[in-house]
Structure 1
Amino acid sequence: MFKLSTYLWCCCLRGCHVPRVRGHPLAVLHHLTDFPPNEDADITLPSQPERHYGSGTEDDPFVIYRNSNLIGQNDLKRLRLVCISDTHNEIHRIHIPDGDVFIHCGDAVRFRTCARDIRVFNDFVGTLSHRYKIFISGNHCICFDPEHPEQTQQILSNMTYLQDQLIDIKGVQIYGSPWRPKRGIIYPAEAFGYDPQLIREDIWSYIPEDIDILLTHGPPYSVRDYHPLTAERIGCPGLLDEVVTRVRPRIHLFGHMHECRGASLYRSEDNRTLEGEYSHDKSNEILFVNLAIHQGKTLGEAVVIDYYY
């Protein structure tokens, strides 16, 4: 639906080549927590959803159903997800609630000491009580070889490493991918950076349909992706298009943009322009959550989601 001309290249810094997005529709969202630091003046948010989705805390988790027909039923299975991202060597300072699945969406370490600290991170995760533990890489994990994910899995012996892979946990389909549009050679923390003009076809088009939960490190375009230093949205438009028009997961978890931590709800009926020819009568809701823990001198909290199916 949107062509390569979506991207405009900024070369104001030597070796930078930062991709800027132009002319792409924005996602209209209901912000459930932590209202983002930016909102375009010409975008009017609809009223908040009638149903209470929770606040993502241990005592008041987000409550998400596989489909709306299940709401109110009593014989459902429940999978409790405990989710974080961008801990940057500070995971030991975070309270991690009990649950069924521990999820980390990348940047557990800092790039300068990645090779040493990723093993410390693995040891810490080994002490957690969760039966299932999932990790995808982030741009700071420069010690990982993208060509040999099996070697990364050996290092991360206390968790399941997902690099463009699907895992089934008690009938819940979870897919993880670490890639994001690359920013250029001046950025030292650039692991899993990919050509922005090719990433949709080469990476995102392989995300399977009918999954329950999608994990990426970077955000989709216009979904909690604002960079305050550049006043730009840096999320991936190709990822947004695939997620809302084809993949349609119930939950999409990511991190990377620390300033935009929080949860937002996407609804098809608010996004006819974005979905275009893929719009249909059946309503589609997606819970988007930016899980970035590291907030400068402070740390956020783990996000807890109860998934019913």
Structure 2
Amino acid sequence: MFKASTYLWCCCLRRCHVQRVRGHPAAALHHLTHFPPNEVDEQVLPFSPTRHYGTGTEDDPFTIYRDPELIGKDNLKRLRFVCISDTHNQIHKIKIPNGDVFVHCGDAVRWSSAARDILVYNEFVGALPHRHKLFIGGNHCVCLDPKRPEQSQKILSNMIYLQDSMTDIEGVQIYGSPWRPKRGIIYPAEAFGYDPTRIREEKWSNIPADIDILLTHGPPYSVRDYHPLTDERIGDPGLLDEVVTRVRPRIHLFGHMHKCRGASLYKSENNQVLEGDHFQPQSNDILFVNLAIHQGKTLGEPVVIDYYY
């Protein structure tokens, strides 16, 4: 069980009030793309898939089924998701493939000019051809008032704004939450920062169980969450525990950690220590994808997912 004592605290310059996790099991993962930096050997697993999952590109999208028993069946419904995060005012430079649902997991702008640039972003997204468009806030979205999500929805008029809320898109249940453990007062880009000792009880425990897709801005602990400046993992252990033991989405999309972009597959059969009493072998495969586009001087590409149900 996650407790406040899971966290250590560092008060060094540039790391003031940055939480450090201790004694919490890490998720064992199969990395499908972009091997993350600083992975430890015991967390990385060899992978011999029984089917092709795809690579997340427009020509070879990730292929995910709501139920493994649907694999190979005919006449299934399909939604194509085109997913990005952390574009930081650069979205106009990105080739965005067509699809059914456009997803942005936060930080469309930079904090210093967020109020102006969020309007430009909204206009750009309004011109995209996707039938459905989803957005959650990120730490740079300081122009969005967490206490007034209805006002944020008015600002983001060309998309569905999710803040601890769910939407149903053609029978697919999607929940979005923008929060992440806060870092302290020295960080100007600190929108949606939350007390890490309370975030699980007050935010993550409210995520509905058995949704299809979860959107967060920050990563769960040990899943593409390495911070090269602090040499630490900064994902949230409470989020990890809720996702893998109770919520069990088929897909979890996030961003925030730019250097850890890419996709990893979580399989219950490899994570008995992490799941504990909730362990159900071969019942909880989750596609985790860090969607961060902005890679310093370069930009990544949107991730494309075909979801069959």
Q: Conserved in 1, the CA contact under 8 Å of 2:138 and 2:217?
A: yes
Distance 2:143 2:3 in 1: 34
2:207 paired residue number: 207
1:203-257 CA-to-partner distances (Å, cap 9, x unmatched) read 0000001100000000000000001111100000000000000000000000000
Distance 2:43 2:159 in 1: 41
Q: Conserved in 2, the CA contact under 8 Å of 1:214 and 1:249?
A: yes
* Alignment CA distance shift 1:75-1:261 (3 Å): same
- Root-mean-square deviation (Å): 1.1
Distance 2:194 2:264 in 1: 26
1:140 paired residue number: 140
2:172 paired residue number: 172
Q: Report matched runs for 1:18-167 at 5 Å.
A: 18-167=18-167
Distance 2:38 2:14 in 1: 28
2:299 is the alignment partner of 1:306: no
1:284 paired residue number: 284
* Alignment CA distance shift 1:81-1:14 (3 Å): closer
Distance 1:136 1:15 in 2: 26
- Letter of the 1:267 counterpart: K
Q: Conserved in 1, the CA contact under 8 Å of 2:153 and 2:160?
A: yes
Distance 1:42 1:70 in 2: 32
Aligned residue pair count: 309
- Letter of the 1:197 counterpart: T
Distance 1:281 1:263 in 2: 21
* Alignment CA distance shift 1:32-1:44 (3 Å): closer
Distance 1:47 1:266 in 2: 11
Q: Conserved in 2, the CA contact under 8 Å of 1:30 and 1:48?
A: no
* Alignment CA distance shift 1:296-1:281 (3 Å): closer
1:178-209 CA-to-partner distances (Å, cap 9, x unmatched) read 00000000000000000001000000000001
Distance 2:98 2:281 in 1: 38
Q: Which stretches of structure 1, 4 residues or longer, exceed 3 Å deviation after superposition? A: 41-44
Distance 1:55 1:69 in 2: 22
Distance 1:78 1:41 in 2: 36
- Letter of the 1:142 counterpart: V
TM-score, reference length from structure 2: 0.98
Shift of 1:14: 8.3
Q: Secondary structure at the match of 2:238?
A: helix
Q: Conserved in 1, the CA contact under 8 Å of 2:66 and 2:307?
A: yes
